[in-house]
Copies of this chain bind each other. A is one copy, B any other.
Amino acid sequence: MTVINHIREIRKKKGISQIKMAEDLQVTRQTMNAIENNKYNPSLELALKIITYFDMPIDEIFILEEDAK
């Protein structure tokens, strides 16, 4: 099981930079960048901040997928 996310698409659609989003969420730009590029998943706390920030249902942003075999 792995989690994929659609943060980059949503962020771009809203015309927000990684920098601004990171500042708004009080994390570093590197953290947002790493999450968008699937270096790792956000913590639950950060994930909740992100869905609040985007004001979207969690399943439109984070998706739990079966691992490819």
Interface residues of A (CB under 8 A from B): 1-3, 41-45, 47-49, 52, 58, 62, 64
Contact = CB atoms under 8 A, between A and B. Distances in A.
12 contacts: A2-B45, A3-B48, A41-B44, A42-B44, A43-B43, A43-B44, A45-B64, A47-B47, A48-B58, A48-B64, A49-B64, A52-B64
Nearest to A48: B64
A7 to B, nearest CB: 12
A64 to B, nearest CB: 4
B45 A43 contact: no
Contact of A1 (B1, B45, B62, B64): B45
Contacts of A47: 44, 47
